[in-house]
Amino acid sequence: MGRILAIDYGQKRTGLAVTDILRITANPLLTVETSSLKEWLNTELAKGEIDTVIIGHPTKLNGEESDSMRYIQPFMGWFKNHFPDMPLIPYDERFTSTIAHKAMIAGGMKKKNRRDKAVVDKLAACILLEDYLTTI
């Protein structure tokens, strides 16, 4: 059993989180420029430590897909073509960024650091992954 990778895909930056080898905990990994994401995935997935990938599936409050899906769907198509044997699981990501901001405040993070969108992105990916882990 390998690790699970969570992708919080964004137009500019993408937050990444990963589980431990036992799939018990989710840990923020890093934030990459979205333009570099494909290269990063090619390198990391070749190592064979990850066997499942979840990707944030943005939806509106009424459950319909958000406008962001027009950017995410082409990436998902690329992923499925390049990694046909790797499960790519869309997972509802509503409120992950809001929860990440609240967690930073609760954790005592200074306002200056909370403005760093790269931190928010990888924390949002971690929250997405933590939520997913409760369903498996």
pLDDT, tens only, 32-72:
999 999 999 999 999 999 999 999 988 766 767 777 788 99
Phi, psi of 33 (to 5 degrees): -65, 135
Q: Which CATH superfamily is domain 3-133 in?
A: YqgF/RNase H-like domain (3.30.420.140)
- Closest by CA to 92, choosing from 66, 69, 58, is 58
Q: Which residues contact 22 (CB under 8 A, 6 or more apart)?
A: 1
Residue 121 contacts residue 88 (beta carbons within 8 Å): no
Could you give the angle at which helices 117-133 and 96-106 cross, rounded to 10 degrees?
A: 110
- Residue spans per domain, the chain: 3-133
Whole-number average pLDDT of the chain: 85
Burial class (CB in 10 A: 0-12, 13-18, 19+), 128: buried
